């Protein structure tokens, strides 16, 4: 089986490349390296069955013999997509369109990596797939939120018009090794601040919640969604139901690191969701999937990885791998 992974050099994409290779797939990793580098896939280069193509998915790509197309290509961190709002919208629009056409040409199964951000700042908790969300279409996060909502609509339209076999997975907060240290999201921020003994910055009062899924569990869910014959184009949530406040999360990371960092409270960010927790009933029933890694276990692995990066940086003149 041959799979094309757009955004394959990114955090989630690189882990998916490894999983599919382990499952015996031939993997074509496509990435323009806008928000990633080759460091995350360096150990895969030259490996049998792995191919890397530097390419912008907004430009048509002609490749044959593909069985699966995974679209993970988009800036995903608020820091990155707010710096590149137009790129983010067009990547999720034109880029998704070009990949869908590629899937049609190959009669391939298509999986869109969507996001919990389509729910916006939810008024329903936890969030089931049937919930339409509460999104500000002109806010600072709208380029990503609305870009993914459009990508979902486009994927659904291709399914209906071309009878394309499609999957839409709404990914909730995910963490683990190979996240960029400058990613700007809560886990890299807290872990790096704790390791350096710097104040751990909390935006708002610390009572906003997140449900964090370890990367190994997440990519296993993507794989099951892709190969399953028991689901259709209707979206499916993949994420953890272990909901924690940001204050709880900061204190847990502080304890696991053994850090003396203080907590520093800053004004809340614009349009940041107050609560985030998936209803994963459909994933459990249709895929037999649920997270297997506890937050404490996953954080221990992630902290060790960031700690090693920090040691490498201190020993060399190189910057952190991105």
CA distances, 9 to each of 34, 40, 45, 123, 285 (Å): 10, 6, 11, 34, 31
Written as six digits, the tokens of 31 are 């990435």
CA dihedral 123, 126, 127, 130 (to 10 degrees): -100
For residue 312, the tally of other CB atoms under 10 A from its CB is 12
Written as six digits, the tokens of 70 are 């995974």
Active-site residue (options: 68, 144, 175, 223): 144
Q: 172: helix, coil or strand?
A: coil
Q: 312: helix, coil or strand?
A: helix
Buried b (16+ CB within 10 A) or exposed e, 67-106: bbbbbbbbbbbbebbbeebebbbbbbbbbbbbbbebbbeb
CA distances, 36 to each of 5, 51, 71, 86, 204 (Å): 14, 17, 15, 18, 29
Q: Is residue 119 annotated as part of the catalytic site, yes or no? A: no
Q: Please give the sequence-ordered ranges of beta strands (E in DSSP) within the chain, or none if there are none.
A: 2-6, 26-31, 50-54, 68-71, 109-115, 166-171, 174-175, 200-203, 209-211, 213-214, 236-238, 243-245, 263-266
Active site residues: 144
């Amino acid at each position: 089986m041959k799979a094309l992974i757009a955004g394959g050099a990114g955090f989630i994409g690189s882990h998916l490349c490894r999983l599919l290779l382990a499952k015996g797939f031939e993997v074509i990793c496509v990435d323009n390296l806008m928000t990633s580098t080759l460091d995350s896939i360096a150990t895969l280069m030259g490996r049998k069955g792995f191919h890397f193509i530097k390419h912008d998915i907004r430009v048509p790509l002609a490749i044959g013999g593909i069985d699966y197309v995974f679209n993970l290509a988009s800036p995903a961190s608020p820091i990155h997509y707010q710096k590149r709002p137009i790129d983010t919208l067009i990547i999720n629009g034109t880029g998704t369109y070009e990949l869908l056409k590629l899937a049609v040409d190959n009669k391939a199964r298509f999986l869109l990596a969507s996001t919990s951000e389509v729910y916006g700042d939810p008024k329903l908790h936890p969030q089931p797939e049937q919930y339409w969300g509460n999104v500000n279409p002109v806010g600072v996060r709208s380029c990503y939120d609305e870009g993914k909502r459009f990508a979902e609509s486009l994927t659904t339209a291709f399914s209906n018009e071309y009878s394309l076999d499609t999957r839409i997975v709404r990914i909730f907060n995910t963490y683990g090794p190979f996240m960029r240290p400058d990613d700007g999201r809560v886990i890299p921020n807290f872990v790096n601040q704790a390791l350096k003994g710097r104040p751990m910055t909390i935006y708002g009062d610390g009572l906003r919640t997140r449900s964090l899924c370890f990367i190994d569990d997440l990519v296993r869910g993507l794989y099951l969604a892709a190969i399953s014959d028991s689901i259709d184009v209707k979206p499916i949530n993949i994420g953890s139901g272990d909901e924690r406040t940001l204050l709880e999360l900061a204190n847990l990371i502080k304890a696991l690191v053994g850090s003396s960092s203080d907590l520093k409270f800053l004004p809340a960010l614009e349009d940041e969701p107050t609560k985030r927790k998936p209803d994963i009933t459909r994933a459990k029933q249709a895929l037999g999937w649920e997270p297997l890694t506890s937050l404490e276990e996953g954080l221990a692995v992630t902290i060790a990885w960031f700690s090693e990066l920090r040691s490498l940086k201190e020993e060399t003149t190189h910057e952190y791998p991105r």
